[in-house]
Chain A
Amino acid sequence: MTDNLKYLEALINSDSKVISELYLESLPKIKKFVLQNKGAPQDAEDVFQKALIQIAVRYKKNPFSVTSSFHAFLFTACKNLWRRELNKSSRWVTKDILEEQLYEKNEDALALLEQERWELFQAALDLSSDSCKSILKLFFKKISYSQMVVDLGYSSETVARQRVFKCKKKLIELVKNSSSFNALKEL
């Protein structure tokens, strides 16, 4: 059994020995990340626990394999959960109480589906050409076109913008062609 499968099975079977290994190997890295991003050790432990449960539920629903290392996969899940947590307060500015209650009731499932959507987008970006990947990463970080010209060596801002629009179109096609798009587009 591969290490990745070992960890996935351990979560489903509540194998405390193997899960303890995960705590020892991965939690310090998550703690470091959360502490560097406005969090406390307690937050890191909460996020770590939520990520493990989220992965277990996903595996139970539809067994999958992890192509990277399990630790990297877990780290990404934790990182996104923490990003989500940090942005939560801004989400409720315009929402009503009933909607908030519904959200809280289903929060675990929503976080899981949002993570799956993130993975779908990330996979599509990974399938893009290297030049598209580079310029889109800057675009989504809201980097100015003048800076893109400097960083990526385009001849003008107009050329950079045309490239962004072209790459974005391609990215959207990749997303829409993904088998999981239909299940996630209504989210």
Chain B
Amino acid sequence: MSTQDDLLIEKYFRESLNEQENIFLEERKLDQEFNDRFILEQHLFKSLGDQEWSFAQNLNSENVTKYQKLFEAPEIIILKSTLEEIRNNQTVDFKNEFVWKPFAYAAAAVILVLIGVSSFNNSTTSSQELYSNYLDKGELAYSVVRSVSNDVSVDSAQQLFFKGKYKKALPYIQLQMEKPGVDLPAFHLMKGVSLIELKKYNDALLVFDQLIASDYLDAQKGYWYKGLLYLKKGEKQNAQNIFMKIKEEKLYNFEQASEILESLE
């Protein structure tokens, strides 16, 4: 590299090249050695200056693909979920610093009222017991094992699901659902049940309705789990309607639906 080259590159970065110098720079860039040096200095300038940033130029580099895969590794997906959880809790804590006192007495009063109501009306509790008795998580696992080849994230999804770590399981389940050709009803159901357990009932309903509307052979299972959702939520009438439909149309688990209907009467 000659001093002339150094001056040329410097002028470029200081945006003070005239037209002729610009042409000369383009000519010099045809020289591989000069061009490599020019690119390296460009990265140095953008990285070590305060204002700019040196973005990657080669999007097809082998390293890029290798690293991108790591962002989808099970530990990293769990970390993302943990960070999201912490972030949400931090937001709640932050808000609580300012607002908890005025609402504390009101919250205590509401709890007392709820305790009172539940003492007189145990239908919600009993429907929740029915939910627990009739929810067969093993049946879901069997469907997954039957249908999917060895996949670490499937194992992680199952393990977390069975350990009751529903929030952590959800990203794995979602990951499976987004994979082409692996959109299995079992994953819909695992997602729906996880959402029920997290008390996100409306989201869970949406998942089951999507399954019911699908062309899967197992689509009718959506009704069974929708019924269980209403039990968990304590909506006795809605639960009865769904289980009645299952019984009358002899859908999935219609015998168990009859048992539940008897218990609810």
Residues of chain A touching chain B, judged by Cβ–Cβ distance below 8 Å, are 11-14, 16, 19-20, 23, 27, 45, 49, 52-53, 56-57, 60-61, 80, 83-84, 86-87, 91, 99, 102-103, 105-106, 108-110, 112-114, 117-118, 121-122, 125, 136-137, 140-142, 164-165, 168-169, 171-172, 175, 183-187
- CB of B64 within 8 A of CB of A110, answer yes
- CB of A99 within 8 A of CB of B59, answer yes
- CB of B50 within 8 A of CB of A121, answer no
Residues of the B chain whose Cβ atoms lie less than 8 Å from the Cβ of A19: 82-83, 86
- CB of A16 within 8 A of CB of B63, answer no
Residues of the B chain whose Cβ atoms lie less than 8 Å from the Cβ of A52: 79, 83
With A20-B90, A109-B63, A175-B44 given, name 18 new contacts (CB 8 A): A11-B79, A14-B78, A14-B81, A49-B83, A52-B79, A57-B67, A57-B71, A84-B53, A84-B55, A86-B53, A108-B71, A109-B64, A109-B70, A113-B67, A140-B48, A142-B49, A165-B3, A186-B58
B43 at the interface (CB under 8 A from A): yes
Interface residues of A: mostly helix, strand, loop or mixed? helix
- CB of B57 within 8 A of CB of A142, answer no
Residues of the B chain whose Cβ atoms lie less than 8 Å from the Cβ of A61: 66-67, 70
Cα separation A16 to B14 with both chains bound (whole Å): 47
- CB of A60 within 8 A of CB of B83, answer no
Give B80's nearest chain A residue, CB to CB: A53
Interface residues of B: mostly helix, strand, loop or mixed? helix
Cα separation A91 to B41 with both chains bound (whole Å): 18
B interface bracket (residues with beta carbon within 8 Å of A):
35 or more
Give B15's nearest chain A residue, CB to CB: A142
B85 at the interface (CB under 8 A from A): yes
Residues of the A chain whose Cβ atoms lie less than 8 Å from the Cβ of B14: 142
- CB of A87 within 8 A of CB of B49, answer no
Q: A172-B40, A187-B57 are in contact. Are A56 and B49 (CB under 8 A)?
A: no
B47 at the interface (CB under 8 A from A): yes
- CB of A103 within 8 A of CB of B59, answer yes
Cα separation A172 to B42 with both chains bound (whole Å): 12
- CB of B86 within 8 A of CB of A60, answer no
Cα separation A171 to B48 with both chains bound (whole Å): 12
Q: A19-B82, A20-B86 are in contact. Are A110 and B59 (CB under 8 A)?
A: yes
Ordered by A's residue number, 21 sampled pairs between the chains whose C-beta atoms are within 8 Å are A13-B75, A23-B86, A45-B87, A53-B71, A57-B73, A57-B76, A83-B52, A83-B53, A84-B55, A110-B59, A112-B67, A114-B53, A141-B50, A142-B14, A165-B3, A168-B6, A169-B1, A171-B44, A172-B40, A175-B40, A187-B61
B24 at the interface (CB under 8 A from A): no
| Contact residue among A110, A140, A183 (Cβ-Cβ distance under 8 Å from B49) | A140
| Contact residue among B41, B47, B73, B85 (Cβ-Cβ distance under 8 Å from A117) | B47
Residues of the B chain whose Cβ atoms lie less than 8 Å from the Cβ of A45: 87
- CB of A91 within 8 A of CB of B55, answer yes
Residues of the A chain whose Cβ atoms lie less than 8 Å from the Cβ of B75: 12-14, 56, 60
Cα separation A127 to B86 with both chains bound (whole Å): 39
Q: A19-B83, A186-B58 are in contact. Are A117 and B64 (CB under 8 A)?
A: no
B202 at the interface (CB under 8 A from A): no
Residues of the A chain whose Cβ atoms lie less than 8 Å from the Cβ of B73: 57, 60
In the complex, how many angstroms separate the beta carbon of B263 from the nearest chain A beta carbon?
39
